[in-house]
């Protein structure tokens, strides 16, 4: 019979650092990290993103070199975003076989063939209005045309997979996007290409720095008619379940650190590999607070990413991936 204190002293397990390390049930590993890369079509040298210290927009050759360097540090996977020279209303650069993402995918696969290349499949970097699909002039103003977006997203995924993407990751939050992409991949003979679905993606203030990096901020309005309301928990399993039913192979929750409850709920309810996206805003909060001397960068980044794993994520997309790879080797 355990009567608790003073018989049971929980601190007894915390004095010896060896025992502490042995009892750590959550061990972050480089195997589960995914590093985002921004490939820019018109730059001729890399350019730092001011709100994301040490993250860069990169010309294709630099993106390939950087990817190879990441692979050399033990990173297994990268997530590719393209920033095109030209944008239009439909976002046609997204499915251009010679488009920026396709160029980057090819260059990275040839520089680092063993690196898993995941392509973000969306239109917002390619549309001149910055929304994740083409617009329709519905009564009361423009909105994103869900069903017109599906064909565009499907073409984009096929083009990315043909360029060599090992995985496609649809992030537009259009209803039916996973099914449209699965159907298109299969009829193109790409039935072995897995889909990592941004299934539970919230309309979050934490994407701010990314939109500067990807030059994809909406020109008007916001994404609340397609991305989820952070305050509607009943839609979490509905979204994740729908994507699985449509053929998603892996699921994603995004953002991550402020949504540990969501990661935990999806992880407990569904048997599919689960990724979590530690977003640009979450990166910036740690980086900028550390630069101001408020927190210790390494300890904060390790603690937060480990917490994402503790909540139930199998894969972690993070701008800290490169740093984490180094810290985990120390």
Catalytic residue positions, numbered = 201, 254
Cβ neighbour number for residue 76 with a 10 Å cutoff: 18
* Residue 259 binds: one of Zn ion, ligand PBG, none (C-beta under 5 to 8 A by kind): none
CB closer to ligand PBG, 179 vs 223: 223
As to burial, measured by CB atoms within 10 angstroms (0-12 exposed, 13-18 middle, 19+ buried), residue 36 is: buried
Q: How near is the Cβ of 103 to ligand PBG at its closest, in Å?
A: 19
CB closer to ligand PBG, 194 vs 209: 209
Site residues (vs ligand PBG, CB under 6 A): 120, 122, 124, 132, 171, 207, 210-211, 223, 279-280
Q: In sequence order, what E strands does the chain have?
A: 33-40, 47-49, 52-58, 77-83, 116-121, 135-136, 143-144, 167-170, 196-201, 250-254, 274-278, 315-318
Q: How near is the Cβ of 199 to ligand PBG at its closest, in Å?
A: 13
CB closer to ligand PBG, 95 vs 207: 207
- Residue 153 host element (H or E): helix 146-163
d(CA 166, CA 183): 17
CB 302, CB 324: distance < 8 Å: yes
Helices and strands per DSSP (H, E), number in the chain: 11, 12
Pairing of strands 116-121, 77-83: parallel
Site residues (vs Zn ion, CB under 5 A): 122, 124, 132
Here the tokens at position 89 are 């209303």
As to burial, measured by CB atoms within 10 angstroms (0-12 exposed, 13-18 middle, 19+ buried), residue 3 is: exposed
Backbone φ, ψ for residue 266 (5° rounding): -70, -40
CB closer to ligand PBG, 149 vs 266: 149
* Residue 207 binds: one of Zn ion, ligand PBG, none (C-beta under 5 to 8 A by kind): ligand PBG
H helices of 226-320, in order, are 236-246, 260-269, 280-291, 297-311
Q: How near is the Cβ of 322 to ligand PBG at its closest, in Å?
A: 15
CB closer to ligand PBG, 193 vs 280: 280
């Amino acid at each position: 019979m355990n009567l608790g204190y003073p018989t049971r002293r929980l601190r007894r397990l915390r004095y010896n650092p060896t025992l502490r390390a042995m009892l750590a049930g959550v061990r972050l590993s480089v195997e589960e990290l995914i590093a985002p890369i921004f490939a820019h079509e018109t730059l001729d040298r890399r350019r730092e993103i001011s709100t994301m210290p040490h993250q860069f927009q990169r010309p294709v050759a630099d993106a390939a070199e950087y990817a190879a360097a990441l692979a050399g540090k033990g990173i297994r996977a990268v997530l590719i975003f393209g920033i095109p020279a030209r944008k239009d209303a439909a976002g046609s650069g997204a499915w251009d076989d010679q488009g920026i993402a396709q160029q980057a995918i090819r260059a990275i696969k040839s520089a680092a063939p063993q690196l898993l290349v995941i392509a973000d499949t969306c239109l917002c970097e390619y549309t001149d209005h910055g929304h994740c699909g083409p617009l329709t002039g519905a009564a009361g103003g423009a909105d994103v045309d869900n069903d017109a977006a599906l064909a565009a997203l499907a073409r984009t995924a096929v083009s990315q997979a043909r360029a060599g993407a090992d995985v496609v990751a649809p992030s537009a939050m259009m209803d039916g996007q996973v099914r449209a992409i699965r159907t298109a991949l299969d009829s193109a003979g790409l039935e072995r290409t897995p889909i990592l679905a941004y299934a539970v993606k919230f309309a979050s203030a934490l994407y701010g720095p990314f939109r500067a990096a990807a030059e994809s901020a909406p020109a008007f309005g916001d994404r609340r008619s397609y991305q989820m309301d952070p305050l509607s928990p009943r839609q979490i399993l509905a979204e994740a379940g729908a994507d699985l039913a449509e053929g998603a192979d892996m699921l994603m929750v995004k953002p991550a650190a402020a949504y540990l409850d969501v990661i935990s709920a999806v992880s407990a309810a569904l048997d599919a590999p689960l990724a979590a996206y530690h977003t640009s805003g979450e990166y910036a909060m740690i980086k900028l607070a550390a630069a101001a001397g408020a927190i210790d960068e390494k300890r904060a980044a390790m603690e937060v990413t480990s917490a994402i794993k503790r909540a139930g994520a199998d894969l972690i997309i993070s701008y800290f991936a490169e740093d984490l790879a180094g810290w985990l080797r120390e």
